[in-house]
Amino acid sequence: MRVFRRSGEVRTRTEPPLGFTDHDSRTHFSDVAGLDHIVAELRDLVDYVSDPGRFERLNARPPRGILLHGEPGCGKTLLARALAAEINVPFYFVSATSFVERFVGLGASRVREVFENAAADAPCIVFLDELDAAGRRRSDGDGDREFDHTLNQLLVDLDGFFSAPGVVTLAATNRPELLDPALIRPGRFDRKIRVPLPDLDGRLAVLRLHAATRPGAADLDWATVAAKTEGRSPAELANLVNEAALLAVRARCEAVRWVHVELALERMDAWDVVH
């Protein structure tokens, strides 16, 4: 588990067993392209911790949990990293796979440890990546008892009745259909946000964002590239721009040219054939 904190913030508590690392995230909402509507949803959390009185005057409580779901590479973890930089509270980054253990009681104790430390740091954000690893739907027959203990502990700690005030949970999964219904009900995850593949305008925004840090020749037309990359994720588009830059370096060019982008597109298509 990792904790993201603002630079200069001092922690006086003893390091917990899972191991915490202070990290100053350099990714902000301005570094997220094509997902403006989702950024707007997450700004509720930023606004709440910066000015909770505005919410309290209307008796409006922020969502206790937000579930981000969508295809791999669409920006779920990127959004969490950006939130870490935007919000001025401790940010706990936890992979749900770290809860999955075969030893009796260990998975449940790790869940308790995360939320106990988060409660001591409240207000704070807990980000659970790959939630389906620990929150998959329980079977009707004899299941994995240790897995059930871990999931039950997670249900208890996420429940609005038992959870500590000021602890907001953000989670991500590529497979929301695998999650247990009890886990994703309101009160545990009040808001479920699908992170979609970018549309034409979104793809163009992503391409321009990553191209902005690389010298480009006058013949580059990212609008044409956006039109040719329908169905591509932001991660694939970022890799495309970087691949074009690597090809320009190999050709000893001072700027990325259209020929390098075309070669990068061919490589992307060839990779699809391999898979």
The per-residue pLDDT for range 61-72, each reduced to its tens digit, is: 888 889 999 999
For residues 63 and 154, membership in a common domain is answered with: yes
- pLDDT single digits (tens) 79-93: 988 887 788 777 888
Considering the domain architecture, whether residues 114 and 207 belong to the same structural domain is answered as: no
Domain final residue pick, 194, 214, 247: 194
Q: How does residue 7 score in pLDDT terms, banded at 50, 70 and 90?
A: very low
Least confident among 20-24, 147-151, 220-224: 20-24
Do residues 188 and 218 share a domain?
no
Domain span holding position 67: 2-194
CATH of the domain at 223: 1.10.8.60
pLDDT of residue 125: 81
User: Of the candidates 167, 194, 221, which is a domain's last residue?
Assistant: 194
Q: What per-residue confidence (pLDDT) applies to 177?
A: 92
Same domain, 45 and 133: yes
The verdict on 204 and 186 lying in the same domain is no
Band of residue 105 on the pLDDT scale cut at 50, 70, 90: low
CA angle 255, 259, 260 (to 5 degrees): 60
Which residue did the predictor score with more confidence, 44 or 144? 44
Does one domain contain both 145 and 204?
Answer: no
- Residues 100 and 144 occupy one common structural domain: yes
Taking residue 266's Cβ as centre, other Cβ atoms within 10 Å add up to 10
Number of domains in the chain: 2
pLDDT given at position 118: 86
Whole-structure pTM value: 0.81
Q: For tokens 């909402």, name the residue.
A: 29
User: 25 and 142: one domain?
Assistant: yes
The answer to whether residues 158 and 248 belong to one domain is no
C-alpha separations of 262 from 28, 73, 244 in Å:
30, 22, 8
pLDDT for 244-270, tens place per residue?
A: 999 999 999 999 999 999 999 999 888
pLDDT of residue 94: 87
Same domain, 217 and 264: yes
Range in 9-13, 167-171, 233-237 the model is least confident about: 9-13
